[in-house]
Structure 1
Amino acid sequence: MSTAQPAALSFRAAVEADVPELVVLVESAYRGDASRAGWTTEADYLDGQRTDPDGVRAVITNEDGVLLVVERAGAIVACCQLEHRGDYVYFGMFAVRPGLQGAGLGKEILAEAERRARETWGAKEMRMTVINVREELIAYYVRRGYLRTGEMSPFPYGDARFGEPRRDDLAFELLVKSL
């Protein structure tokens, strides 16, 4: 009796034709009831959208970065943004299909993103921002070598492009990892 291994992941740069599916992926990972199937949901903190076609398109067309599409057996299962900013790379728009979360996929994708940041841009560190009340998510990144800086930036209250806050104490905390 053998247990079949899932198909290997493949990585490629997103293209315009991917925009609709990537918007659905990001929304499903973070907002609404569908996001509760995974553990990265922000549904308890934010209503409204996480991104929109223009937001995804802006990441795809940014000459200083890439939106990586992660596929398994030809189906999009995840994505993440890598944006070169001087001596570091910003990591964002990380989304894994909710039903696939918790099985090690994120860890594998994060490792590939870090490898690409080093090899493509010679980056010395990876940076990201995480909503400060997301303790479980912050702990996930800390287990992968990211350090909490305590440096906070304000949540864009009043800008519906980032969602509709259900709390008044949201901010973004900067996490950093030396590469």
Structure 2
Amino acid sequence: MDTTATPLTYRDATEADVDAIVALVESAYRGESSRAGWTTEADILQGQRTDPEGVREVVEAPDSRLLTVERDGGIVACCQLEHRDGHAYFGMFAVSPELQGEGLGKTVIAEAERQAREAWGVTEMHMTVISVREELIAWYERRGYRRTGEMTPFPYGDERFGIPRRDDLRFELLVKPLA
């Protein structure tokens, strides 16, 4: 599908979007459906990536937005933007697996960076990525993010984040200046 064929609509998610966003995030990262795209985590994690409560928390949190991207009336991508101590945090990024590899992710992340800069006046975007996700980290590096080497532990034992299939998972902080 040509990602430029139909215009994209950006808006903040509402309570009514929670189930659709959970389904999108799960389809992009977990299970067999995620293998249609390249962002799958199915080989390193089983179980859920998020749940309705987690999505609802982002939707309702102060200084947080869940940017929803629609095309032809359906949600095709989303990302979390959160204002934190002078920078923005970027998370819960998902693109429909059938649309991955066609430039939609590049478009969405650029718009998210623009909106964070304009809404909050921030000069940096931060995110965390599972450190063994080399292909995904390389994709972010091509977008201007840099690895910091700053690691935080993966929440082993908390199935809200999935069931690890390996014992070496950690999150690495990536940072991009938004000048």
Report TM bin, short chain.
over 0.9
Give the paired residue count.
177
What one-letter code is carried by the residue in structure 2 that aligns with 1:143?
A: R
CA–CA distance in 1 between the matches of 2:111 and 2:61? 20
Task: Mark the CA change 1:47 to 1:73 in structure 2 (over 3 Å): closer, same or farther.
Answer: same
Q: CA deviation at 1:4?
A: 10
CA RMSD of aligned residues (A): 1.1
Runs of 4+ in structure 1 deviating by more than 2 angstroms, as ranges, are none
Give the drift of 1:5. Answer: 4.7
**Distance (whole Å) between structure 2 residues aligned to residue 8 and residue 167 of structure 1:** 40
Equivalence for 1:128? 127
CA distance in structure 2 between the partners assigned to 1:129 and 1:69 by the alignment: 20
Structure 1 partner of 2:66: 67
Match of 2:36 in 1: 37
Tell me how far apart the structure 2 counterparts of residues 171 and 45 of structure 1 sit (CA, whole Å): 12
C-alpha change, 1:149 and 1:8, in structure 2 (3 Å) is same
Q: State the TM-score, normalized to the length of structure 1.
A: 0.97
Partner residue, 1:102: 101
Structure 2: distance between partners of 1:130 and 1:9: 26
If the length of structure 2 is used for normalisation, what is the TM-score?
0.97
State the alpha-carbon separation in 2 of the partners of residues 5 and 51 from structure 1. Answer: 29
Cα distance, 1:152–1:5 mapped onto 2, change above 3 Å = closer
Query: Cα deviation per residue 1:73-94 (whole Å; 9 max; x = unaligned)?
Result: 2111000000000210000000
Q: Secondary structure at the match of 2:91?
A: strand
Q: 1:4 to 1:78 in 2, by over 3 A?
A: closer
The answer to whether the 8 A contact 2:3-2:102 is kept is: no
Structure 2 gaps, min length 5:
none
Taking the TM superposition and a 5 Å limit, the aligned residue runs for 1:23-172 are 23-172=22-171
The corresponding residue for 1:8 is 7
Distance 2:109 2:21 in 1: 18
2:148–2:175 contact (8 Å) kept in structure 1: yes
The Cα of 1:157 is off from its aligned counterpart by 0.1
Kindly, what percent of the aligned residue pairs are identical? 70
